[in-house]
Chain A
Amino acid sequence: MTKTRSVYIESDIRPPDPSKVLQCILTSVEMALLDCSSVQLIFSRPLLQGVTFRKRPSRPTVIRFPGKKECWKFNPSISACYVRLFRLILDNLNSGTVTTRRDLYYKDVALFRNQATIDALIEQLCDSLGVKGSDLGVFPSQKGLIFGSISIIYKNLVGKECCYQLSSSEKSQLTPNWFSNDVEILSVRIPPTIRCVIVLEKDAVFKRLCESSWAQDQYILVTGKGYPDHLTRQFLDLMMKHTSLKVYGFFDSDIYGLLIANTYKYGTSQDLNKMLLEKNRLQWAGVEILDYTQGHQPVRPKEIQLMTSLNHRLGDRIKLLTKHREGERCTTCHTKSQISPNRSNIPKNLAKWSGTTLDIVRPSATPEKVPTKILRDLLDET
């Protein structure tokens, strides 16, 4: 009769100290190996399979080490995964290094087999202990890029005041990953010449605009390189909460552009399922299909279907006339077009949109337009 040690992983200790818990788990495992007994890890939160649709927890919350092969559908040695992961995290915590989930996965691809395993295990550990990923030293990877002049002063996790600065004379940088909801932002300073924040779908256009003199000290440019990740959206949230700048988004006139615009505005389908529907100030500013005089491409039937289903979803929950209308126009014209870095329609459309906001207030005043000289310079360079 082998004895079984039980280790509870739950969040009743305040504040939770992940390194202590992990040390405890690993010590129990070592001792179990030495005296041929087994260890039970009892998590207070279940392991959830799949990342997008969380209907029912499908895995038990008790993990035995050594584990039984038939328990696990997607990974015969899930208990080995746990132990390996905990060892990696503990080592990082002890040495003070930070890493990303992707890095952890690549440390032992043969064992983990796919990224989803790591994601699920880390989620379970965080949920059970009541900590965030950053407490375990696991930070999200940075994907988006920003460009402009910003200066942010914040209090980091240990209460120290830090300053994050970005200058428009430098090249663009990856979105910063030090902020999470717990970090206290003390101040955000931007030069008064900045007119608005521009969000772009493609990084090719982003790079083009960064290199031209058009955006220097006039705009803050952000791109998520396609679908935005959490960090990019959090950064935009930060900009919208702490400044009163307008945020305009420029996306391709096809279904993918509209879907990306929706992700910026409302979050991913995962967030929709969780009903985290916090609308933000981002205004979809184009480019409309009818603004293009060339570069139209044929549409595939699948894209028309996607467009129809998007309009279906838009119609129910959110009344968004402009995007719905754009979807209809794209379907009627039956073409799509993309913003290309060689002929950037953005200055023209931005002029359209800047004009829009002023027209409501003072219809008689001349709308604010991008100065024609800068416009010409930009187009001449192409």
Chain B
Amino acid sequence: MEGFRFKRSFRPLERTIELMLLLAASVAIIVSIAIIYTLMDGTVAFFSAPDVNIFEFLFGTKWVPSGSDPSFGILPLLSGTILIAGGALLIAMPLGIGAAIYLSEFASPRVRGILKPIIEVLAGIPSIVYGFFALLVISPIFRDLFGASYFNAASAIVVLAIMILPIVVSISDDAMKAVPRNLREASYAMGATKWETATKVVLPSASSGVIASVLLGLGRAIGETMVVTLAAGRVANLTFNPTEEVQTMTAYIAQVATGDIPPGVAVDAAFAVGMVLFIMTYIINIFAGIVVDRIKAGKRMKRTGLTGGLVKVIGAPGRVLSKINIGAGLKKGAGSLRRRYRIGIFGISMTGSSLVIAIGFLAYLVHYILTQGLSGIDQAFLSEIPHYIPDKAGIYPVILGSVYLMLLTLVISVPIGVGAAIYLTEIAPDSRHTRFLRRIIQNLAGVPSIVFGLVGLTIFVRLFDFGISLLAGSMTLSIMVLPIIVVSTEEALKAVPKSFRDAALALGATRWTTIRHHVLPNAIPGIMTGSILAMSRAIGETAPILFIGSVFAKVPPSGIMDPFLALPLTIFYWTTHPKAEFHELAASTIIVLLVILLTMNSVAIVIRNRVQAKRDW
């Protein structure tokens, strides 16, 4: 008998690395706990104030945070939120689903290749830019046409609808594209027109994806801060009249952040409002998650087992078609066929025109900003400091502040996000706690950005005592962009063929060696693209750093503990400035921000295309 062979070696390096990756993945849990701690802490402080009680908070109809007789009834904030988010959804739903039908069913590949990126551009524009546009362009239209007040819900609704449009379009489009061809063919074979097939077969079959897209859009609309803060106003009105001024939950928190609220119970109230906001968006996102998971599970089921798959594939068109009474239209004979075609042509032009609306909006936004801001951009503007005299004002320290903020965010968030993704896909795929972690991360992605602002204030500024510093700002942005980095890295890792891993493992490589030499190098371009997109999100965000950025930072930060000012914050301050000259400065700043974003996105696209051209697997 020979001795025992192939003894397990200890491999301390390997263990250490796996432990670190687990820690990175656990950051998502820590962040979730930090959010709940922050909101609980402030909420408890709020309700322990002498003249506050939970009944009045939940059912009171007056929200008057300051003054001699403060009152904290959340209903006006809720009605404002529902009016704006609901209104935006009412516009975005038909437009978005229509656009998705057109893109998925009727657009030629070439047209689709042009239109889809334009819709994606809408998603990449920072919300502060939409807010600027809502207040200075859309709001005056409602004032002139309907006698709306200076701040009004309607302008926020319209702009918010365009903002959430990309979410509805891209997820609905994906769902419709995923509907199997044989369903469409079955419908054509029964004599249905293209339009009938699209609306009566494809759309119902993709309904769960469409529902998910609408839910995610709603979550985004409820959580959006800057548009409503700038355009809808600062007075909590219990009204559903869109021409009036209203305040949403997010806008109240932003009002606290910008210092219009006296310290004390009114500030604590922001945390209670944040709690309600967090719970609402969390529930919506959980529902959306369940719908999305169900779609994914359904697809998996169809793939398992040849026979089972065949039954499903053959059975599916029949089941869908039996529900949909296409035959009814056919019975009416040849005369109605012309009518059916006319309906189709009308429908196709309607869905196509929803895309035209979106593109027209984008074109006018870009045109307006360029005409307002381009003339203001000169050497002085880029090299001077912010000044109270518009002619002398520049944004030099602001650009540097934003760049430093982004770089520090990169340094903090990318290692953690990439580590977490490696842990989730490579070290512990598909175990119960991985699924739990993944769900936590998905839900973090849906948390409104202003809630991260509250967390940053409570945890980084106060608890860690970083003060209003670059470090506190970067950490706040880091926890916000973490889910983006994790998800994109996971996708990049999953795209590396399993055969590379098998080959390395079969040669006796350890798990970490396999990841280090054969998985990561092949995933680097994808990780880089995802990280750049996450950083462009970070540099464009306003709400999370409203609490932390400092108006008084007139010099670029020279260390991580220094105060800073960022481009979106400057746009915010200048847009709200009473003097119109500052609005032009805001437009100039927007151009600078958009140029930075455009550059970053171009780099991401170049990396992606280069690698796709070079890739031989």
Q: A and B from one assembly?
A: no
Task: Give chain B's interface residues, CB within 8 Å of chain A.
Answer: none
Task: Give chain A's interface residues, CB within 8 Å of chain B.
Answer: none
